[in-house]
Amino acid sequence: MLAFSLNERAVELEVDPETPLLWVLRDHLSLLGTRFGCGMGLCGACTVHLDGAAIRSCSTPVSLVAGRSVTTIEGLGGNHPVQRAWVEHNVPQCGYCQSGQIMSAAALLASNPQPDEDSIRQAMSGNLCRCGTYHKVQRAILSVAAVAHWEPVAEDVS
């Protein structure tokens, strides 16, 4: 039996410990917001937080998260400052990469609330977007960084 915290709720399940977290989320727990893009850690579509840090769930065996805390796009709640900025800036096109982009952005801002353009580009370079929304991603992150009163929520602090 494998136990971990998922979006602040305790989860216990029987699963092959080698199974990547991505497929546990999608196939076992029906949390469909985390996306499968490449399965090799190359695209970032599957990004979630593990104890607040952005990780690629496609390349993380679920055994690795035992006893730890996982947050998915669903766990951000929809009203997270990053998500609000995403809607305001109309970042998504097809939308498929965006859960991953948002999770990477949220982790970046939690560790560095005022990133400059260059650190944004670096931090977000693991997230591919075939639709080419990179500028919007950058602008949305900058807009969150510009809001001085935003305090990262506790979960996001690694």
x/- contact string, 87-126, with ligand FES (CB under 6 A)? -----xxxxxxx----------------------------
x/- contact string, 53-82, with another protein (CB under 8 A)? -------------------xxx-xxx----
Q: Which of 4, 20, 56, 65 binds another protein (CB under 8 A)?
A: 20
User: One-letter amino acid identity for 124?
Assistant: M
Q: 128, 42 in Cβ contact below 8 A?
A: yes
Helices (H), 1-158: 21-23, 73-76, 81-88, 98-111, 117-123, 134-146
Query: How many binding residues for another protein (CB under 8 A)?
Result: 59
Q: Which residue, 44 or 152, is less far from ligand FES as judged by CB?
A: 44
**What letters, b where the CB count within 10 A reaches 16 and e where it falls short, cover 60-98?**
bebeebeeebbbbbbbbeeebbbbebbeebebbeeebbb
- Residue 127: both structure tokens together: 């997230």
Stretch that binds another protein, among 49-57, 107-115, 121-129, 148-156 (CB under 8 A): 121-129
Q: 92, 51 in Cβ contact below 8 A?
A: no
Burial of 2 (0-12, 13-18, 19+ CB in 10 A): middle
x/- contact string, 129-148, with ligand FES (CB under 6 A)? xxx-x---------------
| Cβ 114 to ligand FES shortest distance, Å | 25
Residue ranges that bind another protein, judged by CB under 8 A: 16, 19-20, 23, 26-28, 30-40, 42-43, 45, 72-74, 76-78, 83, 86-87, 90-99, 102, 120-122, 124-138
